[in-house]
Amino acid sequence: MNPPAAGYSATYPEEKGPEMRGLLTPPPVGPPGYAAVYQPSSTYVNPQERPRNARRRRFWHFLACTVLFFVALHLLLHQRPFKKGLGPLPWSEISPGTTEPEAQWSPSICEDNVNWKDDSDRAPTHGYHYRAHTTLTLPVSAEELSFIAEGANAYGTFDVSQDAHTDSENAVVDIEVEYRVSDALDDATVCRTHAGQGKWGLGIFTPRWSHPHNERQLRFFVHVHLPSSDKLNIKRFFTDLPIFRHHLAELADTVHFEEVSLRSSNSPIDVDSLAADRVRATTSNTAIRGKFNTSTTLELQTLNAPIVAEATLVNGRGEQPTRLILKTSNAHIDSSVHLQSSTSSATGGKYDVSARTSNGPIDVSIIDAPVGHTLTLDAHTSNVGAHVALPKTFEGSFDLQSSRWFRPTVEWDQDVEDPAGKRRTRHVELHTINGGSVRGNAWWEEGRKNEGTVTVATSNAAVRLEL
């Protein structure tokens, strides 16, 4: 080692003690003519601190693991058991616009379990190597026909149609199931249910916890074959089938239902045609589409998905209106509505139409309505446009609302003919309240200028009303 340059002396801070001296080394010798100046570091790491830091890290790691363990234990101990009960609330306890409580079921309502026939010799599809099928019958004269699934391992399709080969007394229910693991079907209880006097149905019960890789999931195909009859009447028909796609074939001309309730989630509901006094269809994150005829209430409700419906509302001269309720969010509503009167003169009738969404357009068209009817229509959305078309028979007030810089527009034919054939002249009156609000009236007879009420509202977008 070369000796230090002339004039250089290495000094060490005395307060650091012999430990510091042992860590410091003399600086390198500078080039000739230069003297190296040593600057001791101001940062000192005591080797005794390193084990202390390691112990601190281990403590926090242990604490985090302990907290996660107790959270997982709490969730495991408080999982919901099979829900018990007799199903959803009756219609009389459901007010318009409210959500029906969750249906509650358990295998205790099973009358007899089905007997499966193995079909695994067929070619596998999409990884489903095992198949089975069975059939059961349900009396169509029952007070209630129900189709329910409870648990985490069942999903599939649900179809309803008429079949000429079905006897007139019973509905035939064909059930097929596909699965990946040979013993997965052993996890399920599939049975004919008998929940009470005159209440028959199909029940599918699977464990509440599914395999993380879905290896034990069961894919069901349920097809209800109704008798082929022009005068078939079914009292109450309802489903509670989460993650089951629903499809109802053309039934309106040959089957009349007193009450229908279709309930799913994350799967669409498609109805070719359906006639019932009361209809309620609910799902989530998927669309509802269909053609409906009702004399009391039609309610279609989903979330984050569109509603596309053609509805015929029938009403007489009773005090209660026939209602149409359409509700979704973040998606559009597209509906064409026919208003019909059941009176001998085919006039009059009360009707109530409600369409509500957000961040999705609304397009509601009342295609036709009887002379002398009373209509209450409420259409609300936000951030997108709203369009409502009314028939020439409409009489009443209208209120159109949007943001201040979007003035609503009203369009009408000044030369429209009198729908009653009395050569009357229709009057339309407008009042602009401010930049984003227009109110007015339309009438054939002075005494009916406030008979009906139409409200259309949005924000940050246009509103258009056709008379």
pLDDT digits (tens, 9 = 90+) for 427-442: 999 887 777 889 999 9
In this prediction, residue 152 carries a pLDDT of 85
Percent of all residues in the chain with a pLDDT value above 70, rounded to a whole number: 79
- Lowest model confidence (mean pLDDT) among 76-85, 279-288, 438-447: 76-85
What is the band of 33 on the pLDDT scale with cuts at 50, 70, 90?
very low
What is the band of 82 on the pLDDT scale with cuts at 50, 70, 90?
very low
Query: What is the Cα Rg of the chain in Å?
Result: 36
41 vs 193: which has the higher pLDDT:
193
In this prediction, residue 253 carries a pLDDT of 92
In this prediction, residue 123 carries a pLDDT of 65
In this prediction, residue 48 carries a pLDDT of 53
Q: Is the pLDDT of residue 368 over 50?
A: yes
- Lowest model confidence (mean pLDDT) among 53-62, 69-78, 391-400: 69-78
In this prediction, residue 59 carries a pLDDT of 75
pLDDT digits (tens, 9 = 90+) for 276-291: 999 999 999 999 999 9
What is the band of 47 on the pLDDT scale with cuts at 50, 70, 90?
low
What is the band of 50 on the pLDDT scale with cuts at 50, 70, 90?
low
In this prediction, residue 165 carries a pLDDT of 76
pLDDT digits (tens, 9 = 90+) for 374-425: 999 999 999 999 999 999 999 999 999 988 888 888 988 888 888 888 888 8
In this prediction, residue 91 carries a pLDDT of 35
Q: Which residues pair with 440 in a beta bridge?
A: 398, 430
Q: Phi and psi of 238, rounded to 5°?
A: -145, 155
CA–chain centroid gap for 466, Å, is 31
Q: Mean pLDDT over residues 362-373, rounded?
A: 94
Q: Is the pLDDT of residue 126 over 80?
A: no
Measuring CA to CA, which residue among 206, 216, 223, 215 is closest to residue 106? 206
What is the band of 314 on the pLDDT scale with cuts at 50, 70, 90?
very high
Q: Is the pLDDT of residue 318 over 50?
A: yes
| Average pLDDT of every residue of the chain | 82
What is the band of 121 on the pLDDT scale with cuts at 50, 70, 90?
confident
- Lowest model confidence (mean pLDDT) among 43-47, 308-312, 422-426: 43-47
Pairing, β 130-139 against β 117-118: antiparallel
